[in-house]
Chain A
């Protein structure tokens, strides 16, 4: 694999955010993915989201599995610690990392091969445990690194580049996340940055397990007629349920025009998700109607995108475990070791 560091040149007029960083500070190494890869657009959206959220890059831990998507954390947030784990097992490693230090922000990046095949179990259990993280699947329905095999999210009837028709049913990670108890579930398209950036911002600030499935066409192996994960196909079949704005708690909340069309959802940290529902009957705070809505449209061949479900007051695994506010990796002997007198007492009870 080639290894290309990005020159660290900053134009003096580049705009800085509230913590003093320019957008360049959120970049990583130069991508080695194919030109036009949807994954690079997602990296760009993550960069944009983190910059706009005024996150200090080193306070993010970015973890991934194995595959094209899992390479991408190297291409953003260069000042963050990254961890390219093993195939499909990012969720467990991220869970452990999160338990060790609850103060960092956790970004889990995965692919459809990584999360829907080998890692389906780990994906499911991270969702049901409510590990606080933004879990982004860069979903192209194909194995790119091994040159074009179908992944488990490939739609039934879709055609591979070699002309093979997929006969297996697809795994719908969004449906699974909803069913498993994820408290923030969205789907987007790598070619729709306006939708994706606020969706990522909402996920990062969410208080529990946030999942975003991003359809991200593979230009090398899955961007041809017959593919249901190509740029053209997704653009033609996109059914956006909502457009969201993300407003941090520090910003003034402006009055909302057109009552009935916009819902403000305040998250546990005070930030606001402004949901502009494109469909009057769509309620993004109801898990069950979200599931039904999504599946009804899916049956019609439509890809529902936007913020599909959110529980704004979600809590996480640390809450469930009643873990100390001080990160576990900062505790030392006084907090951890009961000491010799307690041991003497224990010895006495064992005689």
Chain B
């Protein structure tokens, strides 16, 4: 049997039981490798339940810096008897299986093409600890200790992490270090170490940080000046509001008075949460809500009102598997159409697509600016994969000379000076009208906000020309938005090619890897990463300048493809959809296989096969 041999390049998966306390031990494992200067990308894979059902934690270790999910498992830490068969089956040939051998298993439970490492974790813990909870919790640390020997992870690094985690809690620190060495000592004495897959200190992390997208988006809202947050708990977005609360507690409490420079309300539902954001936005505060697909569905009436009444609103949509309740704890990019056109009537909304936590921070702050500038709802379209998983990314950056773009808000002095105020009047030719905030002036600038039609002076009107003026101006405003949103990022191929690929959001790391791998098969692609809707002109030009463009996305119905075709009037015949939608994050293997298959098919003589418009590997 040939064992997998790899240094700083493997995938390890932990199969655990929800509620067993494994999450922090697994995270500790990933962070230790990161501290050794080797890039890691962990992913929590968990079902929608509270306790007792299976949960997995998959860590990709990649010195090359690939952070997408690779596919295939090199080592399985199989701690859940419930999922044993599937977990063992998932291993790559030559892989490693680590398990609790306290209760021996028959040979039929193993595979002949893998290396099996048994360690009596329960027996060890039962011998050392008397408290049942301790026995359970320290089992996780004991296996991390054993793995550190098997994979050559430096124990000093783990101990330092313990030191940071249990600062001031010496008793906890000591007991964790003890458990770590319990595992290490056993492994050194009884196991054949190291394995073929190993970790070696490198210098590939640099100044990058390790954070999840939801925390990053929350921090972006703090830096971007959001003062009102209204939310309703929903997976996978809840930690956005929770992190905002945490950061506000740290950064937004007036040291002199102890008073808060923020207000956070956990609303009774998503309708109320967006309603509060609408009210706060109308009254001149920067406000946001965080939600997921089902929440967006409930919010659509208010989103339509905000669009038509022109009120700044920021919505962080951490997408999950849909439709309906769908797959609450799985990832997808499937709310694109629902958000782009949310609400009845002719509506169009600004969408931003961050690729990683760094951009979650950037785009959240940017969304608050754009919402104020454009006086309209702005969605930050993240997903569970970016939102809930810690990811290595560029450090957050902030330019202290940056001020907030509060948009066109007419002041009392301007009104006093006789500046003409017509709430829905396009005075600057960019489609964006001026607004006043309630309470501005005793006699000038007040108006009535409503969801019904109006004339440029906000007076109720059902006259056709008034309606047309208004909705055409909204279109003009949307065209202005295309010049203000984050522009696409072009990654040209190393040589001239007729093939292009468009991708966005959390697909990014897998795509970057695929773009490195595909040239090995002679496939070169110019790549365009979308960062926002409305699409700037450059997207149309990119498609026009290639014979074929792949659009890679994580939904069944090719929503981005459809949005591009619809909004840019593109011939769909030029586009090929690469779709991944089983709820797991897309992999480089999937993208590479799909594109290779298409290119191979299209090279066959005409008539042998139809031009494939959608490919599945």
Q: A interface vs B, CB < 8 Å?
A: 1, 3, 56-59, 61, 63, 73-74, 78-86, 89, 91-101, 103-104, 121-122, 124-125, 129, 317-318, 321-325, 328-329, 331-333, 335-340, 342-344, 346-347, 350-351
Contact = CB atoms under 8 A, between A and B. Distances in A.
B454 to A, nearest CB: 10
Contact of A324 (B208, B228, B254, B451): B254
Nearest to A25: B443
Contact of A335 (B205, B261, B451): B261
Contacts of B197: none
Interface string B447-480: 1111110000001111000000000000000000
Top 9 closest pairs, chain A to chain B, by CB: A96-B279, A92-B275, A100-B285, A96-B276, A81-B438, A100-B283, A329-B284, A93-B279, A96-B280
Contacts of B609: none
B396 A96 contact: no
Interface of B: 35, 205, 207-211, 219, 222-223, 225, 227-228, 230, 251-252, 254, 257-265, 267-269, 271-285, 287, 301-302, 305, 395-400, 402-404, 436-443, 446-452, 459-462
Contacts, number: 233
Say what secondary structure dominates the interface of chain A.
Answer: helix
B446 A58 contact: yes
Given A96-B278, A99-B280, A324-B259, A350 B211 contact: yes
A287 to B, nearest CB: 22
Contacts of A324: 254, 257, 259-261
A40 B305 CA distance: 27
Contacts of B449: 81-84
A129 B272 CA distance: 13
A58 B263 contact: no
Contact of B301 (A80, A84, A86): A86
Contact of A96 (B283, B441, B461): B283
A100 B276 CA distance: 10
A122 B283 contact: no
Nearest to A32: B460
A351 to B, nearest CB: 6
A58 B271 contact: no
Nearest to A332: B404
Contacts of A89: 271-272, 275, 301-302
Contacts of B287: 96, 100
B284 A100 contact: yes
Contacts of B260: 321-324
A3 B223 CA distance: 44
Contact of B285 (A73, A84, A329): A329
Contacts of A122: 268, 271-272, 275
B462 A93 contact: no
7 contacts: A81-B437, A82-B449, A92-B271, A99-B276, A324-B260, A332-B225, A350-B395
B442 A56 contact: yes
Given A93-B278, A322-B258, A121 B251 contact: no
Given A84-B450, A94-B279, A100-B285, 13 more contacts: A61-B438, A81-B436, A81-B448, A85-B451, A92-B278, A99-B228, A101-B283, A121-B272, A129-B265, A318-B263, A323-B259, A337-B222, A346-B396
A89 B279 CA distance: 10
A331 B252 CA distance: 11
Contacts of B259: 322-325
B439 A104 contact: yes
Given A342-B251, A350-B210, A351-B210, A92 B439 contact: no
Nearest to B455: A3
Contacts of B261: 324, 328, 331, 335-336
A262 B569 CA distance: 75
B439 A59 contact: yes
Contacts of B230: 92, 95-96
Contact of A329 (B205, B274, B283): B283
Contacts of A322: 258-260
Nearest to A124: B268
A61 B257 contact: no
A125 B267 contact: yes
Contacts of A98: 279
A16 to B, nearest CB: 14
Contacts of A91: 272, 275
B227 to A, nearest CB: 4
B441 A58 contact: yes
Given A96-B280, A329-B227, A336 B441 contact: no
A292 B225 CA distance: 48
A85 B304 CA distance: 11
B211 to A, nearest CB: 5
Contacts of B274: 92
A331 B263 CA distance: 12
Contacts of B280: 96-97, 99-100, 328-329
Contacts of B403: 332-333
Contacts of A96: 228, 230, 275-283, 285, 287
Contacts of B268: 121-122, 124-125
Given A89-B275, A100-B285, A125-B272, A337 B398 contact: yes
B264 to A, nearest CB: 7
Contact of A84 (B269, B398, B443, B451): B451
B258 A1 contact: no
Given A325-B259, A337-B398, A92 B446 contact: no
Contacts of A124: 268
Contact of B437 (A1, A79, A329, A338): A329
A101 B448 contact: no
Contacts of B209: 347, 350-351
A58 B230 CA distance: 27
A93 B404 contact: no
A337 B225 contact: yes
A32 B211 CA distance: 57
Nearest to A339: B400
Nearest to A66: B451
A97 B279 contact: yes
Contacts of B282: 83, 93, 96-97, 100
B251 A338 contact: yes
Contacts of A101: 283-285, 437-439
A54 to B, nearest CB: 13
A3 B459 contact: yes
A332 B284 CA distance: 12
A223 to B, nearest CB: 27
A85 B275 contact: yes
A224 B151 CA distance: 86
A149 to B, nearest CB: 21
Which of A58, A80, A103 counts the most B-chain CB atoms under 10 A from its CB? A58
A92 B274 CA distance: 8
B395 A347 contact: yes
A125 B395 CA distance: 40
A328 B257 contact: no
A339 B401 CA distance: 9
B275 A343 contact: no
Contacts of A337: 222-223, 225, 398
Contacts of A81: 436-439, 446-449
B371 to A, nearest CB: 14
A122 B269 CA distance: 9
Nearest to B277: A96
A96 to B, nearest CB: 3
A63 B275 CA distance: 12
Which of B35, B285, B439, B451 counts the most A-chain CB atoms under 10 A from its CB? B439
Nearest to B223: A337
Which of A80, A83, A124, A338 counts the most B-chain CB atoms under 10 A from its CB? A83
A98 B284 CA distance: 11
B495 to A, nearest CB: 37
Contact of A321 (B264, B436, B447, B461): B264
A255 to B, nearest CB: 37
Contact of B442 (A63, A79, A329, A333): A79
